[in-house]
Amino acid sequence: MANPKCNRCSKIIPDGFTDCPWCGAAQSAANSSPAAAPAAEGAAKPLNASGPDFLAGLSLLLSAAVFATLQYLAMVRTVEPLTLENSGYFLGRRVGSLILSAIIVLAYNKIRGRELRTARALFVIIAAASLLTAMNLAAPSKHRSSAPDAAVLHQLGEDIKTPDSSNKWASAARSLMTDLVARNKQYVSDVSALDNTAKPLYTVESFSTTANIQQMIAQLNARLAVADKYTSLQPVFAKMKDYVAKVDASDADKRDFMDGFESTLPKTLSAHKALVDKEHAWLQSSLNLYQYALSRQGAYVYQDRNLLFKKTADTAAFNQKLVKAHTLKAEFLKSYWDARRAQKAVIVQMGLQGTELGPMPPQ
């Protein structure tokens, strides 16, 4: 007698198994009976709202809703409220969490030698992604350090603006502030000059021909050169020693002032390095994306404003690199504008907006 088939997935149940080893469905006695009459061919199957398919679909929808809610809470807690502007970053976070969970779940089942049905696999992947997000929410929140005292900042601003200030260190602080603002304005100018002639990143057309890809690689290399140029703030801060040397003060006072000034540098340099690292990570990932596309010329075609890869593995690799580039760009831009807003707030508290130091560039 032939082995019975599963009443859910229709796979043959091996000897020694009461329930289906493939999908886990329990088998009724009627399934193993040879006298069971098959359903008439072409007969419509009634919908069963309480059946396993309905429950699987409901579980999948509920898990997706929980995942989306947790992702939203994580973004609000660690980033900022969801807006149209940062929606791309939000979607990037969600896709990244799902990809990581899928890799973990599929690798685990590969090791165990099990094969999950599509609905069950999606449920497990979303549940794993929700668990990872919940663990992130459970971690202690990273609070920013308290803002500088407003009165101190205002007085410093007054000293910098007043050439005959009684504060003997005001001239050194004025020179350093001028250097920092000039550096920021030059960075904005250099980036803006590139943006005036740059083609949009990540469009389908930018991957359509070898010439277009090479143009995007050249554009990204030029942008990376600007990032490299402004990697370190150390050359600007190094000038402070020369400015202090010109102050009418004793050598001991100058040493004490420089000791206090240099004690504040590690935190400033660390914050700047974190921002620079994000900028470089975004640009390098974008270069990697276009270099991958260049290496796969002939492996895909540009048709009806779409890229069609001949191999599924190439499609997956390309999409993974594209999502990574998008996500890192959003992370850098958010960090950059957070830093600029904080910088602008300090300038306003010091009362230096609209002075000889120049206005802050708008967002």
Q: What is the pLDDT confidence band of residue 325, given thresholds at 50, 70 and 90?
A: very high
Find out whether 97 and 129 touch, Cβ atoms under 8 Å.
Answer: yes
Structure tokens at 169: 């260190």
Torsion (CA) 81, 85, 90, 93 in degrees, nearest 10: -120
Please give the pLDDT value at position 356. 43
Q: Which of 326, 334, 340, 324 is nearest to 85 (CA)?
A: 334
Cross-strand partners of 5: 12
Average pLDDT of the chain is: 75
- Tokens 């967002």, residue located: 363
Span 193-212, average pLDDT: 92
Span 298-303, average pLDDT: 90
Q: Which of 174, 175, 189, 213 is nearest to 298 (CA)?
A: 213
List Cα–Cα distances, 72 to 95, 129, 133, 137, 139, in angstroms.
Answer: 13, 13, 10, 11, 16
CA dist 50 and 63 (Å) reads: 18
Find out whether 176 and 239 touch, Cβ atoms under 8 Å.
Answer: yes
CA dist 39 and 10 (Å) reads: 14
List Cα–Cα distances, 66 to 78, 83, 94, 243, 304, in angstroms.
Answer: 18, 20, 12, 58, 37
DSSP state of 331: H
How many other C-beta atoms lie within 10 A of the C-beta of residue 327?
19
Res. 300: pLDDT tops 50: yes
Least confident of 173-177, 255-259, 276-280, 344-348: 344-348
pTM for the model stands at 0.56
Span 309-319, average pLDDT: 92
Q: What is the pLDDT confidence band of residue 207, given thresholds at 50, 70 and 90?
A: very high
Structure tokens at 228: 């490299």
Identity (one letter) of the amino acid at 310? K
- Tokens 């995942």, residue located: 67
Least confident of 115-119, 198-202, 260-264: 115-119
Summarize pLDDT for 238-258 with one digit per residue, the tens.
999 999 999 999 999 999 999
Find the DSSP H helices in 28-79: 29-32, 52-78
Instruction: For residue 302, report the phi and psi dihedrals to the nearest 5 degrees.
Output: -100, 115
Calculate the CA 292 to chain-centre distance. Answer: 20
For 107-163, give the DSSP string: HHHHHHT----HHHHHHHHHHHHHHHHHHHHHSPP-PPPPPPPHHHHHHHHHHHH-T
CA dist 89 and 334 (Å) reads: 9
CA dist 277 and 287 (Å) reads: 15
142: number of CA atoms within 13 Å, CB side? 4
Structure tokens at 362: 């708008």
Res. 336: pLDDT tops 80: yes
